[in-house]
Amino acid sequence: MCSLCILAYDIIDSLELLSEVFLTGQLVLNELIMKKLALFGCTCLLVAHSVKDTVNVNRYAGILFEDDDKKNKMAGKRKSAALLASRLLMAGLFFFVGLRQLNRVVARDFALFVHHPQSMYRDGHDNNWLLMEFILGVPLAIGYKSEWSARALAATLFLEAFTCWNFWAPDQFRPDHARSHFVTNMACGGGLLLLQAFGAGRYTVDAMLEAKKTQ
């Protein structure tokens, strides 16, 4: 019930954000908005876990360690659909921020080439953890090596939070904005740990390869 309440709040918040971006033009689509939309996918993971299914996950040890019993079972269609939606929402975040970072790298290299005076200016948005997230977002979206890609992405999000969005530092520019990035990074990382604990479902490359092995 708590997960459903959070899901309802996320739906309302996401719709408000999308309307302010695409309808009223009050906001511009940026990394923080995409992270908040990705949190909707994390909440879907919690709701998916409430669906009665054949997968048994250890609620504690399963978060960090692989459950051997889970390997021999397959999630049902409803849970797999929710897990697919969650993966795609989070992968969309990583593709978006990765492409933005690629544009920054190209612009910065060009500025260095023409000796622009602000070519060395960088803030928390300009970090190469985003390129790692972009690369790891591909196996997450298609469901290839899902557990390891989810763990690697979670670690990358945590590292980005602590190295780029340290809002507690006295010299941090706009600490309120940095705090928002920090908490959304930690929340998305937590969602990815849930994903690797639950498994990615049947709509994955991993499931397809496993089915071919058993034929």
* pLDDT tens track for 112-130: 555 555 544 456 778 888 8
Compute the distance between CA of residue 112 and CA of residue 107 in angstroms, rounded to an integer.
9
- Residues 6 or more apart in contact with residue 82 via CB below 8 angstroms: 44, 45, 47, 48, 51, 201
Gyration radius of the chain's alpha carbons: 19
Which residues, 6 or more positions from 87, have their beta carbon under 8 angstroms from its beta carbon?
A: 41, 140, 141, 143, 146, 195, 200
* CA–CA distance, 174 with 104 (Å, rounded to integer): 20
Q: How far is it, in rounded angstroms, from Cα 82 to Cα 41?
A: 9
State both tokens at 35.
Answer: 């992270």
Kindly tell me if the per-residue pLDDT of 198 is higher than 50.
yes
pTM for the predicted model, two decimal places: 0.77
Structure confidence at residue 14 (pLDDT): 82
| Longest CA span, the chain | 63
Per-residue pLDDT averaged across 43-53, rounded? 69
What is the Cα–Cα distance from 181 to 165, expressed in whole angstroms?
Answer: 7
pLDDT of 142 higher than 90? yes
